[in-house]
Amino acid sequence: GGIITQTPKFLIGQEGQKLTLKCQQNFNHDTMYWYRQDSGKGLRLIYYSITENDLQKGDLSEGYDASREKKSSFSLTVTSAQKNEMAVFLCASTKMRTKNTEVFFGKGTRLTVV
């Protein structure tokens, strides 16, 4: 088995601040994802990466940057935190298969902007 580690678990930022969230996986998976989860809105894809140094925009990429310097790590930057923003950011990874592909998630980073 493997594990996805997200740091920090809790992040409190100030309006306008640039904030970075980190994710590490030891599954040796090729593809990694960043999702945002808001109450009542489900999970929305921010960025994903199919291999080292690759970046693909999701539906919610505006206001975010991402970086995949190594296969095992994928970081997300909130370029300018919005006041009163509260959300959970979830990192995930997978190894594509023809069938029964499974995506695995980290425990999340909870962001609060004051």
Pick the closer one to another protein by CB: 17 or 37: 37
From the list 28, 78, 77, 76, the residue with the least C-alpha distance to 51 is 28
What tokens does 100 get?
């029964």
**28, 53, 63, 102: which one binds another protein (CB under 8 A):** 102
Residue 41 binding another protein, by CB under 8 A: yes
Closest separation in Å from C-beta 60 to another protein: 12
Edge to edge, what strands does the sheet with 4-7 contain?
A: 4-7, 19-25, 73-78, 64-70
Pick the closer one to another protein by CB: 17 or 56: 56
Under the rule (CB under 8 A), what is the footprint of another protein?
31, 33, 35, 40-43, 45, 48, 50, 56, 58-59, 90, 92, 94, 96-108
